[in-house]
Amino acid sequence: MVEFLQFTLSGVVFGMIYAAIALSLVLIWRGTRLLNFAQGGMAMLTTYVAIEVIYKTHSYWAGFVIALVAGLVLGAASELTVVRPTTGKPELNAVIVTIGLLIFFEGLAGILFGGQYRSFPAAFSVTGLRVGGTPLGVSRFDVFTVAAVLFTTLILAVVFRYTTAGLRMRAAAFNATIARLSGIRVARVLTVGWALAGLLGALAGVLVSPATFLYPNSMDAIFVLGFTAAVIGGLDSPAGAVVGGLLLGIALSYVGGYLNSDLTSLVALGILVAVLMIRPNGLFAGARMRRV
- Chain residues in the site for another protein (CB under 8 A): 29-30, 32-35, 37, 82, 85-93, 95-97, 99-111, 114-116, 173-177, 216-217, 220-221, 224, 227-228, 231, 236, 260, 262-266, 268-269, 272-273, 276-277, 280-281, 285, 288-290, 292
Question: How many other β-carbons are positioned within 10 Å of the β-carbon of residue 259?
Answer: 11
- Nearest-10 Cα torsion for 122, 125, 126, 132: -160
Which of residues 38 and 148 has its CB atom nearest to another protein in the complex? 38
Least CB distance from residue 128 to another protein, whole Å? 26
Least CB distance from residue 58 to another protein, whole Å? 26
Identity of residue 285: A
Specify whether the CB–CB gap between 242 and 35 falls below 8 A.
no
Which of residues 64 and 223 has its CB atom nearest to another protein in the complex? 223
Q: Which residues contact 282 (CB under 8 A, 6 or more apart)?
A: 231, 232, 233, 234, 235, 236, 237, 240, 244, 275
Q: Which residues contact 219 (CB under 8 A, 6 or more apart)?
A: 40, 41, 43, 44, 47, 205, 208
Least CB distance from residue 224 to another protein, whole Å? 5
Least CB distance from residue 254 to another protein, whole Å? 16
Specify whether the CB–CB gap between 180 and 48 falls below 8 A.
no
Least CB distance from residue 112 to another protein, whole Å? 9
Which of residues 9 and 30 has its CB atom nearest to another protein in the complex? 30
Which of residues 152 and 234 has its CB atom nearest to another protein in the complex? 234
Least CB distance from residue 125 to another protein, whole Å? 31
Which of residues 1 and 177 has its CB atom nearest to another protein in the complex? 177
Q: Give the C-alpha distances (Å, rounded to integers) separating 149 from 35, 152, 255.
A: 21, 5, 24
Least CB distance from residue 14 to another protein, whole Å? 16
Which of residues 73 and 281 has its CB atom nearest to another protein in the complex? 281
Q: Give the C-alpha distances (Å, rounded to integers) separating 291 from 23, 85, 187.
A: 23, 33, 27
Of 242, 204, 240, nearest to 223 (Cα)? 204
Which of residues 57 and 260 has its CB atom nearest to another protein in the complex? 260
214 forms beta bridges with 118
Specify whether the CB–CB gap between 232 and 271 falls below 8 A.
yes
